[in-house]
Amino acid sequence: MRNFALIGAAGYIAPRHMKAIKDTGNNLLAAYDKADSVGIIDSHFPHADFFVEFERFDRHIEKLKYEKDLFLDYVSICSPNYLHDAHIRFALRSGADAICEKPLVLNPWNIDKLQRVEEKTGKKIYNILQLRVHPSIIQLRNKVANSLKDKKFEVDLTYLTSRGNWYQTSWKGDISKSGGIATNIGVHFYDMLSWIFGDVQDNIVHVHEKDRAAGYLEFENARVRWFLSINSEYLPSEVKKKGQTTFRSITIDGEELEFSGGFTDLHTLVYKDILDGYGYGLSAARTAIEIVHDIRNARPEGLKGEYHSFLNR
Ligand code: NAD
Protein backbone atom coordinates (compact mmCIF):
# COMPACT_ATOMS: atom_id res chain seq x y z
CA MET A 1 0.00 0.00 0.00
CA ARG A 2 1.41 3.40 -1.01
CA ASN A 3 1.01 6.58 1.00
CA PHE A 4 -0.50 9.66 -0.59
CA ALA A 5 -1.01 13.30 0.34
CA LEU A 6 -3.40 15.52 -1.59
CA ILE A 7 -3.31 19.27 -2.25
CA GLY A 8 -6.51 21.09 -3.21
CA ALA A 9 -8.78 18.66 -1.34
CA ALA A 10 -11.84 20.94 -1.22
CA GLY A 11 -12.12 21.44 -4.96
CA TYR A 12 -14.24 19.99 -7.74
CA ILE A 13 -11.78 17.40 -9.05
CA ALA A 14 -10.25 16.24 -5.73
CA PRO A 15 -12.90 13.52 -5.06
CA ARG A 16 -11.86 11.75 -8.28
CA HIS A 17 -8.33 11.56 -6.93
CA MET A 18 -9.53 10.34 -3.54
CA LYS A 19 -11.55 7.64 -5.31
CA ALA A 20 -8.59 6.68 -7.50
CA ILE A 21 -6.31 6.39 -4.45
CA LYS A 22 -8.88 4.22 -2.71
CA ASP A 23 -9.80 2.11 -5.75
CA THR A 24 -6.14 1.29 -6.37
CA GLY A 25 -5.83 0.04 -2.76
CA ASN A 26 -3.74 2.89 -1.40
CA ASN A 27 -3.90 5.27 1.55
CA LEU A 28 -4.37 9.01 1.93
CA LEU A 29 -2.27 10.12 4.90
CA ALA A 30 -2.86 13.85 4.75
CA ALA A 31 -4.65 16.50 2.75
CA TYR A 32 -4.31 20.24 2.44
CA ASP A 33 -6.54 23.02 1.13
CA LYS A 34 -6.81 26.61 2.15
CA ALA A 35 -10.60 26.15 2.18
CA ASP A 36 -12.06 23.85 4.82
CA SER A 37 -15.16 22.52 3.03
CA VAL A 38 -13.68 19.02 2.84
CA GLY A 39 -16.35 16.78 4.38
CA ILE A 40 -15.98 14.65 1.22
CA ILE A 41 -12.82 13.19 2.79
CA ASP A 42 -15.08 11.12 5.08
CA SER A 43 -16.42 9.19 2.08
CA HIS A 44 -12.94 7.97 1.24
CA PHE A 45 -10.35 8.43 4.01
CA PRO A 46 -11.96 9.44 7.31
CA HIS A 47 -8.63 8.99 9.13
CA ALA A 48 -6.61 11.31 6.91
CA ASP A 49 -5.17 14.41 8.58
CA PHE A 50 -6.24 17.74 7.11
CA PHE A 51 -4.59 21.16 7.09
CA VAL A 52 -5.63 24.62 5.95
CA GLU A 53 -2.17 26.13 6.32
CA PHE A 54 0.71 25.05 4.14
CA GLU A 55 3.25 25.42 6.95
CA ARG A 56 1.41 22.99 9.22
CA PHE A 57 0.88 20.54 6.38
CA ASP A 58 4.57 20.67 5.48
CA ARG A 59 5.59 20.23 9.13
CA HIS A 60 3.24 17.27 9.49
CA ILE A 61 4.75 15.50 6.47
CA GLU A 62 8.24 16.05 7.97
CA LYS A 63 7.12 14.72 11.35
CA LEU A 64 5.58 11.60 9.83
CA LYS A 65 8.94 10.94 8.22
CA TYR A 66 11.23 11.51 11.18
CA GLU A 67 9.03 10.50 14.09
CA LYS A 68 6.86 7.73 12.64
CA ASP A 69 8.95 6.39 9.79
CA LEU A 70 6.00 7.06 7.47
CA PHE A 71 7.10 8.20 4.03
CA LEU A 72 5.00 9.72 1.30
CA ASP A 73 5.10 7.89 -2.02
CA TYR A 74 2.93 10.32 -3.99
CA VAL A 75 1.46 13.81 -3.68
CA SER A 76 -1.68 14.34 -5.76
CA ILE A 77 -2.08 17.93 -6.90
CA CYS A 78 -5.55 19.38 -7.54
CA SER A 79 -4.82 23.05 -6.90
CA PRO A 80 -5.35 25.93 -9.37
CA ASN A 81 -3.16 25.70 -12.48
CA TYR A 82 -0.70 28.48 -11.59
CA LEU A 83 0.18 26.72 -8.31
CA HIS A 84 1.01 23.35 -9.85
CA ASP A 85 4.67 24.23 -10.37
CA ALA A 86 5.16 25.16 -6.68
CA HIS A 87 3.18 22.18 -5.40
CA ILE A 88 5.09 19.77 -7.65
CA ARG A 89 8.36 21.13 -6.24
CA PHE A 90 7.01 20.59 -2.72
CA ALA A 91 6.13 16.97 -3.57
CA LEU A 92 9.57 16.13 -4.94
CA ARG A 93 11.37 17.95 -2.10
CA SER A 94 9.36 15.83 0.31
CA GLY A 95 10.68 12.66 -1.31
CA ALA A 96 7.47 11.81 -3.17
CA ASP A 97 6.50 11.56 -6.83
CA ALA A 98 3.89 14.08 -7.99
CA ILE A 99 0.62 13.23 -9.76
CA CYS A 100 -0.57 16.56 -11.06
CA GLU A 101 -3.77 17.72 -12.70
CA LYS A 102 -3.80 19.32 -16.14
CA PRO A 103 -2.41 21.65 -17.37
CA LEU A 104 0.79 20.49 -15.71
CA VAL A 105 2.16 24.05 -15.89
CA LEU A 106 1.32 27.19 -17.84
CA ASN A 107 4.52 27.64 -19.90
CA PRO A 108 6.99 25.38 -21.70
CA TRP A 109 9.99 26.74 -19.78
CA ASN A 110 8.39 25.60 -16.51
CA ILE A 111 8.81 22.05 -17.82
CA ASP A 112 12.55 22.59 -18.42
CA LYS A 113 13.02 23.76 -14.83
CA LEU A 114 10.97 20.91 -13.40
CA GLN A 115 13.09 18.47 -15.37
CA ARG A 116 16.05 19.68 -13.33
CA VAL A 117 14.13 19.16 -10.10
CA GLU A 118 13.38 15.58 -11.21
CA GLU A 119 17.07 15.01 -11.91
CA LYS A 120 18.17 16.47 -8.57
CA THR A 121 15.64 14.60 -6.44
CA GLY A 122 15.42 11.36 -8.42
CA LYS A 123 11.62 11.64 -8.14
CA LYS A 124 9.07 11.66 -10.96
CA ILE A 125 6.33 14.01 -12.10
CA TYR A 126 3.19 12.53 -13.66
CA ASN A 127 0.40 14.40 -15.41
CA ILE A 128 -3.28 13.48 -15.57
CA LEU A 129 -3.82 13.11 -19.32
CA GLN A 130 -6.98 11.12 -19.01
CA LEU A 131 -8.08 11.13 -22.65
CA ARG A 132 -5.03 8.98 -23.39
CA VAL A 133 -6.65 6.15 -21.43
CA HIS A 134 -10.12 6.59 -22.99
CA PRO A 135 -10.91 3.41 -25.00
CA SER A 136 -12.36 5.26 -28.06
CA ILE A 137 -9.36 7.60 -28.22
CA ILE A 138 -6.91 4.68 -28.02
CA GLN A 139 -8.85 2.99 -30.82
CA LEU A 140 -8.67 6.13 -32.97
CA ARG A 141 -4.95 6.46 -32.34
CA ASN A 142 -4.40 2.88 -33.52
CA LYS A 143 -6.53 3.51 -36.62
CA VAL A 144 -4.52 6.62 -37.52
CA ALA A 145 -1.23 4.81 -36.88
CA ASN A 146 -2.33 2.13 -39.36
CA SER A 147 -3.38 4.58 -42.07
CA LEU A 148 -1.20 5.93 -44.88
CA LYS A 149 1.76 7.84 -43.45
CA ASP A 150 1.19 10.99 -45.52
CA LYS A 151 -2.60 11.09 -45.05
CA LYS A 152 -4.07 14.27 -43.54
CA PHE A 153 -7.40 13.78 -41.82
CA GLU A 154 -9.90 16.66 -41.81
CA VAL A 155 -10.97 17.19 -38.20
CA ASP A 156 -13.59 19.47 -36.66
CA LEU A 157 -13.55 19.63 -32.88
CA THR A 158 -16.33 21.35 -30.96
CA TYR A 159 -16.47 21.41 -27.19
CA LEU A 160 -19.13 23.37 -25.37
CA THR A 161 -19.28 23.03 -21.63
CA SER A 162 -21.50 25.65 -20.03
CA ARG A 163 -20.31 27.43 -16.91
CA GLY A 164 -22.18 30.03 -14.89
CA ASN A 165 -21.05 33.53 -13.95
CA TRP A 166 -19.01 32.13 -11.05
CA TYR A 167 -16.39 30.93 -13.54
CA GLN A 168 -15.18 34.44 -14.37
CA THR A 169 -15.03 35.45 -10.70
CA SER A 170 -13.01 32.37 -9.72
CA TRP A 171 -9.33 31.70 -10.47
CA LYS A 172 -10.53 29.95 -13.66
CA GLY A 173 -11.55 33.30 -15.17
CA ASP A 174 -8.17 34.89 -14.39
CA ILE A 175 -5.77 34.31 -17.28
CA SER A 176 -2.71 34.67 -15.01
CA LYS A 177 -4.02 31.82 -12.85
CA SER A 178 -5.74 29.46 -15.28
CA GLY A 179 -4.09 30.43 -18.58
CA GLY A 180 -7.51 31.31 -20.07
CA ILE A 181 -10.17 29.12 -21.61
CA ALA A 182 -7.99 27.44 -24.27
CA THR A 183 -5.43 26.45 -21.64
CA ASN A 184 -7.87 25.45 -18.96
CA ILE A 185 -10.53 23.69 -21.02
CA GLY A 186 -8.75 23.00 -24.31
CA VAL A 187 -5.53 21.43 -23.07
CA HIS A 188 -7.09 17.92 -22.90
CA PHE A 189 -8.00 18.13 -26.58
CA TYR A 190 -4.72 19.57 -27.84
CA ASP A 191 -2.93 16.80 -25.98
CA MET A 192 -5.22 14.20 -27.49
CA LEU A 193 -4.83 15.63 -31.01
CA SER A 194 -1.04 15.74 -30.89
CA TRP A 195 -0.90 12.26 -29.34
CA ILE A 196 -2.99 10.91 -32.22
CA PHE A 197 -1.94 13.04 -35.19
CA GLY A 198 1.74 13.84 -34.55
CA ASP A 199 3.84 16.99 -34.48
CA VAL A 200 2.33 20.46 -34.73
CA GLN A 201 2.92 22.18 -38.09
CA ASP A 202 0.71 25.24 -37.78
CA ASN A 203 -1.21 26.94 -34.96
CA ILE A 204 -3.54 29.81 -35.86
CA VAL A 205 -5.94 31.50 -33.45
CA HIS A 206 -9.12 33.02 -34.89
CA VAL A 207 -10.85 34.12 -31.69
CA HIS A 208 -9.72 34.08 -28.06
CA GLU A 209 -12.16 35.64 -25.62
CA LYS A 210 -13.15 35.05 -22.01
CA ASP A 211 -15.91 32.61 -22.88
CA ARG A 212 -14.92 31.21 -26.28
CA ALA A 213 -11.88 30.40 -28.34
CA ALA A 214 -11.37 29.01 -31.80
CA GLY A 215 -8.54 28.29 -34.15
CA TYR A 216 -6.85 26.04 -36.66
CA LEU A 217 -4.18 23.50 -35.82
CA GLU A 218 -2.29 21.48 -38.35
CA PHE A 219 -0.53 18.29 -37.32
CA GLU A 220 1.52 15.81 -39.36
CA ASN A 221 -1.65 13.81 -40.01
CA ALA A 222 -4.55 16.21 -39.51
CA ARG A 223 -5.98 19.64 -40.27
CA VAL A 224 -8.10 20.64 -37.29
CA ARG A 225 -10.65 23.43 -36.91
CA TRP A 226 -11.45 23.78 -33.20
CA PHE A 227 -14.04 25.70 -31.20
CA LEU A 228 -14.42 25.81 -27.42
CA SER A 229 -16.89 27.69 -25.30
CA ILE A 230 -18.25 27.87 -21.77
CA ASN A 231 -21.17 30.07 -22.90
CA SER A 232 -24.44 28.13 -23.10
CA GLU A 233 -25.62 30.46 -25.91
CA TYR A 234 -23.45 28.49 -28.34
CA LEU A 235 -25.13 25.15 -27.58
CA PRO A 236 -26.98 23.78 -30.63
CA SER A 237 -30.74 24.24 -30.17
CA GLU A 238 -31.46 20.47 -30.13
CA VAL A 239 -28.99 20.12 -27.23
CA LYS A 240 -30.56 23.06 -25.37
CA LYS A 241 -34.05 21.59 -25.90
CA LYS A 242 -32.97 18.38 -24.15
CA GLY A 243 -31.81 20.48 -21.19
CA GLN A 244 -28.20 19.43 -21.70
CA THR A 245 -25.37 21.83 -20.93
CA THR A 246 -22.50 20.08 -22.67
CA PHE A 247 -21.87 19.32 -26.33
CA ARG A 248 -18.84 17.42 -27.50
CA SER A 249 -18.21 16.57 -31.12
CA ILE A 250 -15.20 15.42 -33.07
CA THR A 251 -15.66 14.64 -36.74
CA ILE A 252 -12.91 12.99 -38.70
CA ASP A 253 -13.26 13.13 -42.49
CA GLY A 254 -16.92 14.00 -41.84
CA GLU A 255 -17.55 11.01 -39.59
CA GLU A 256 -18.53 11.55 -35.95
CA LEU A 257 -16.22 9.96 -33.40
CA GLU A 258 -18.39 8.23 -30.82
CA PHE A 259 -16.93 9.00 -27.42
CA SER A 260 -19.84 10.25 -25.37
CA GLY A 261 -19.46 7.47 -22.79
CA GLY A 262 -16.44 6.07 -21.02
CA PHE A 263 -15.54 9.24 -19.11
CA THR A 264 -16.14 7.97 -15.60
CA ASP A 265 -13.22 6.58 -13.66
CA LEU A 266 -10.57 7.71 -16.13
CA HIS A 267 -8.63 9.11 -13.17
CA THR A 268 -8.53 5.64 -11.63
CA LEU A 269 -7.19 4.24 -14.92
CA VAL A 270 -4.48 6.93 -14.96
CA TYR A 271 -3.52 6.07 -11.37
CA LYS A 272 -3.37 2.34 -12.22
CA ASP A 273 -0.99 3.09 -15.09
CA ILE A 274 1.27 5.19 -12.88
CA LEU A 275 1.30 2.61 -10.08
CA ASP A 276 2.11 -0.11 -12.63
CA GLY A 277 5.25 1.81 -13.60
CA TYR A 278 3.88 3.61 -16.66
CA GLY A 279 2.06 6.95 -16.66
CA TYR A 280 2.72 10.13 -18.62
CA GLY A 281 5.41 12.48 -17.40
CA LEU A 282 7.05 15.79 -18.27
CA SER A 283 8.01 14.94 -21.83
CA ALA A 284 4.50 13.71 -22.66
CA ALA A 285 3.00 16.94 -21.31
CA ARG A 286 5.25 19.23 -23.33
CA THR A 287 3.51 19.47 -26.72
CA ALA A 288 0.12 20.47 -25.30
CA ILE A 289 1.77 23.04 -23.01
CA GLU A 290 3.57 24.51 -26.04
CA ILE A 291 0.28 24.63 -27.95
CA VAL A 292 -1.64 26.41 -25.16
CA HIS A 293 1.22 28.83 -24.55
CA ASP A 294 1.27 29.72 -28.25
CA ILE A 295 -2.52 30.09 -28.38
CA ARG A 296 -2.46 32.35 -25.29
CA ASN A 297 0.14 34.62 -26.84
CA ALA A 298 -1.13 34.67 -30.42
CA ARG A 299 -2.89 37.65 -31.94
CA PRO A 300 -6.36 36.37 -32.99
CA GLU A 301 -6.82 36.70 -36.75
CA GLY A 302 -10.63 36.90 -36.84
CA LEU A 303 -12.69 35.16 -39.50
CA LYS A 304 -9.95 34.36 -41.98
CA GLY A 305 -8.76 31.11 -43.51
CA GLU A 306 -9.73 27.73 -42.11
CA TYR A 307 -12.08 28.72 -39.31
CA HIS A 308 -14.62 26.59 -37.44
CA SER A 309 -18.22 26.80 -38.68
CA PHE A 310 -19.50 27.83 -35.20
CA LEU A 311 -17.83 31.21 -35.69
CA ASN A 312 -20.54 31.98 -38.25
CA ARG A 313 -23.32 31.60 -35.66
P1 NAD B 1 -11.44 24.19 -7.73
O2 NAD B 1 -11.33 25.65 -7.69
O3 NAD B 1 -12.78 23.54 -7.54
O4 NAD B 1 -10.46 23.55 -6.65
C5 NAD B 1 -9.18 24.06 -6.38
C6 NAD B 1 -8.93 23.90 -4.90
O7 NAD B 1 -7.61 24.38 -4.62
C8 NAD B 1 -9.90 24.73 -4.04
O9 NAD B 1 -10.48 23.91 -3.06
C10 NAD B 1 -9.01 25.80 -3.44
O11 NAD B 1 -9.41 26.19 -2.13
C12 NAD B 1 -7.67 25.11 -3.43
N13 NAD B 1 -6.55 26.04 -3.35
C14 NAD B 1 -6.42 27.27 -3.91
N15 NAD B 1 -5.26 27.83 -3.58
C16 NAD B 1 -4.63 26.93 -2.78
C17 NAD B 1 -3.40 26.94 -2.10
N18 NAD B 1 -2.57 27.98 -2.19
N19 NAD B 1 -3.08 25.87 -1.37
C20 NAD B 1 -3.94 24.81 -1.28
N21 NAD B 1 -5.11 24.74 -1.89
C22 NAD B 1 -5.46 25.80 -2.63
O23 NAD B 1 -10.81 23.71 -9.08
P24 NAD B 1 -10.92 22.28 -9.78
O25 NAD B 1 -11.92 22.37 -10.86
O26 NAD B 1 -11.01 21.21 -8.78
O27 NAD B 1 -9.50 22.27 -10.51
C28 NAD B 1 -8.33 21.88 -9.83
C29 NAD B 1 -7.31 21.40 -10.83
O30 NAD B 1 -7.84 20.29 -11.54
C31 NAD B 1 -6.99 22.44 -11.90
O32 NAD B 1 -5.65 22.31 -12.28
C33 NAD B 1 -7.88 22.06 -13.06
O34 NAD B 1 -7.37 22.48 -14.30
C35 NAD B 1 -7.89 20.57 -12.93
N36 NAD B 1 -9.11 19.93 -13.46
C37 NAD B 1 -8.98 18.80 -14.16
C38 NAD B 1 -10.08 18.16 -14.69
C39 NAD B 1 -9.91 16.89 -15.45
O40 NAD B 1 -10.86 16.47 -16.11
N41 NAD B 1 -8.75 16.26 -15.41
C42 NAD B 1 -11.35 18.70 -14.50
C43 NAD B 1 -11.47 19.87 -13.74
C44 NAD B 1 -10.34 20.47 -13.22
Dist. CA 115–CA 123, nearest whole Å: 10
Ligand 1 near 186 CB (within 6 A)? no
Q: Which domains does the chain have, with CATH numbers?
A: 3-127 (3.40.50.720), 131-261+281-312 (3.30.360.10)
Dist. CA 310–CA 293, nearest whole Å: 23
Contact 3, 30 (CB under 8 A): no
Ligand 1 near 11 CB (within 6 A)? yes
Dist. CA 224–CA 147, nearest whole Å: 17
Our CA dihedral for 286, 288, 292, 295, rounded to 10 degrees, sits at 110
Q: Which pLDDT tens digits describe the chain residue by residue (313 residues)?
A: 999 999 999 999 999 999 999 999 999 999 999 999 999 999 999 999 999 999 999 999 999 999 999 999 999 999 999 999 999 999 999 999 999 999 999 999 999 999 999 999 999 999 999 999 999 999 999 999 998 788 999 999 999 999 999 999 999 999 999 999 999 999 999 999 999 999 999 999 999 999 999 999 999 999 999 999 999 999 999 999 999 999 999 999 999 998 777 777 999 999 999 999 999 999 999 999 999 999 999 999 999 999 999 999 8
Q: Where are the beta strands (DSSP E) in the chain?
A: 3-7, 27-32, 49-51, 74-77, 97-100, 125-127, 153-161, 200-208, 212-219, 222-229, 246-252, 255-256
The interface pTM score, or ipTM, of the predicted complex is 0.99
| CA of 80 relative to ligand 1 center, distance in Å | 4
The predicted pLDDT at position 262 comes to 73
Dist. CA 300–CA 281, nearest whole Å: 31
| CA of 77 relative to ligand 1 center, distance in Å | 8
The predicted pLDDT at position 258 comes to 83
For residue 134, report the phi and psi dihedrals to the nearest 5 degrees.
-80, 125
The predicted pLDDT at position 150 comes to 84
Ligand 1 near 215 CB (within 6 A)? no
Atom of ligand 1 nearest to the CA of 37: 9
Atom of ligand 1 nearest to the CA of 128: 41
Pocket test for ligand 1, best of 6, 13, 166, 268 (most atoms within 8 A of CB): 13
